[in-house]
Amino acid sequence: MTVPTPPLDPAPADPVVPGAVNLRDVGGLRAGDAATRFGVLFRSGNLARLDRAGTRALADLHLRRIIDLRADDEVAREPSRIAGLDVVTQRVPLFLGSVESFFRDDISLDEMYRRLVDDSSEGVTAVVRGILADQPVLVHCTVGKDRTGVTIALTLAAAGVDPDAVVADYARTEGLLPPRRNRKIVEMLRAMHPDAVHLEDLATRSPAPVMRALLDDVARRYGSAGEYLRAHGLADDEIAELRRVLLRRSA
């Protein structure tokens, strides 16, 4: 099995934002002879548990836009604690069905991601346009694993980031989710769905082979992630701008 490619440059420590889960900068990822810029695109789980220190730390990232991929019921249940931040909030709910339905139907991560690519292409395109509109920008969902993982992966791949680096960034999530959170979530879900086969993958895991398979499938069906975005409305100049915004040439 291919070992995921590490970042091109030694990355600075992930931003410390108390109350935020899985928050990180996607800078420093290989893109041929270039790399993704630091301080431009961030990803995370939800922002519903920020305390005052967390809100101040988030403000220190100087974000101009936050793109929230959660459904209306998720936002109502756990609203983001970002009052006072001078930031554009863009709502792009990505799942056409409820999050709970994936656990109830016991689908695999592969199937979930295929559905997201096929059924939420308009939303994925809207996220990319949001990234182009303002930087620095933060993209998040509830945990920052699946909706965020797929959207960020397609964005990075379309910008020309090496597939191994895209996969490695996605796979990092599993190691950034708090074990206590994982145990609590799995215990709760297992009580509701005792016979589910894919439950722990859906709730806690981000296996590199799953993302690699998704990128391969997109390439097989569309030619590339960039062509996928073009097929769903993104223009050539927007793809070129995405590369300009996200990438810098290495020294």
Global pTM reads 0.92
Give the number of other CB atoms < 10 A from CB of residue 195.
Answer: 7
- Tokens standing for residue 177: 């989710």
Question: Which pLDDT score is estimated for 195?
Answer: 83
pLDDT in tens, 219-231: 999 999 999 999 9
Distance CA 74, CA 115 (A): 20
Question: Which pLDDT score is estimated for 121?
Answer: 96
| Residues 6+ away with beta carbon under 8 Å from 147 | 69, 70, 94, 95, 116, 141
Distance CA 131, CA 133 (A): 5
Structure letter (DSSP) for residue 82: -
One digit per residue, the tens of pLDDT, for the chain of length 251 reads 344 444 445 556 789 999 999 999 999 999 999 999 999 999 999 999 999 999 999 999 999 999 999 999 999 999 999 999 999 999 999 976 667 777 878 899 999 999 999 999 999 999 999 999 999 999 999 999 999 999 999 999 999 999 999 999 999 999 999 898 889 988 988 888 888 888 888 889 999 999 999 999 999 999 999 999 999 999 999 999 999 999 998 65
Indicate the Cα dihedral angle 171, 16, 68, 63, nearest 10°: -120
CATH for 24-245 is 3.90.190.10
pLDDT in tens, 95-135: 766 677 778 788 999 999 999 999 999 999 999 999 999 99
| Residues 6+ away with beta carbon under 8 Å from 187 | none
Contact 181, 90 (CB under 8 A): no
Question: Which pLDDT score is estimated for 6?
Answer: 45
Contact 17, 52 (CB under 8 A): no
Which is it for the CA torsion 178, 183, 184, 185, positive or negative? positive
Distance CA 61, CA 42 (A): 9
Question: Which pLDDT score is estimated for 212?
Answer: 98
